[in-house]
Amino acid sequence: MPLKRFGVARILNKRGYCSRSVAENLVREGRVTLDGRLVRDPETPATESSKITVDGKPVSKIAHVYFAMNKPRGIVTTASDEKGRKTVMDLLKGKLPQHVFPVGRLDKASEGLLLFTNDTAFADRILAPETHLEKEYHVQVSRAPSREEMEQMKKGVLVPPRVFGESPEQMRMADVRVLRTGEKTAWLSVVLHEGKNREIRRILQTFEIEVLRLVRVRIGNWALGNLKPGEISKLSLDNA
């Protein structure tokens, strides 16, 4: 059976050398050879067994690694930030192998479980909506929703757009329940399958419920456990 062919930039990305966009730029700059031939088109066909060099140095398939972090609140989930804000990659400097990247995002005000890898296929599976991978969050809110409100959240609500001129979005929670209530606040468990931008906050906002804290505690079978804010641990795929 012939090997599947991809663009040379995608192969560089799949080997964990760099992001897809960086790989495309390297090819266009004439810094990449494919089987001994200089290429300038990122879509030049290549296979997993192709011999590729960048700046004259061979790029081999690297061992895949997987890590979990308890992302602290106030940290941005990007490799770099144009506003100069602290990012998760700043916290990881010198602690992880090269070319490791975060799988998905948690917004700056959110905290909890964030996965890291150099395995792009793994990351794609985690993020693909069609996998219906559960992501569980513990959410501190300004009041506990009623049973009727929670049923509506699971059925779906039309959420106003974040930007003027855009259309409202239909959003729903796969599950929502009250964990505990206090004098002035409550904690919810919320499960999502997709995880659109600020989805939990936007759904709750339609019921005039304010989010005070949002902590992701689980992705599929991987749980946050006892990881402290800013700590990382190696992941096993045995429970995937």
Q: How far apart are CA 36 and CA 186, in angstroms?
A: 62
Query: In this structure, what are the phi and psi dihedrals at residue 164, rounded to the nearest 5 degrees?
Result: -60, 135
Coil, strand or helix: which one is 171?
Answer: strand
Is beta strand 6-7 parallel, antiparallel or unpaired with respect to 222-223? Answer: unpaired
Any catalytic annotation for residue 107?
A: yes
Which structure tokens are listed for 4? 């599947």
The rounded Cα 107 to chain-centroid distance in angstroms is 10
Is residue 157 within 8 Å of residue 206, measured between CB atoms? yes
The rounded Cα 170 to chain-centroid distance in angstroms is 21
Q: How far apart are CA 60 and CA 2, in angstroms?
A: 20
Is residue 17 within 8 Å of residue 99, measured between CB atoms? yes
Is residue 134 within 8 Å of residue 173, measured between CB atoms? no
- Using only C-alpha atoms, what is the Rg of the chain? 21
Q: Which of 41, 107, 119, 124 is catalytic?
A: 107
Q: Which residues are annotated as catalytic?
A: 107
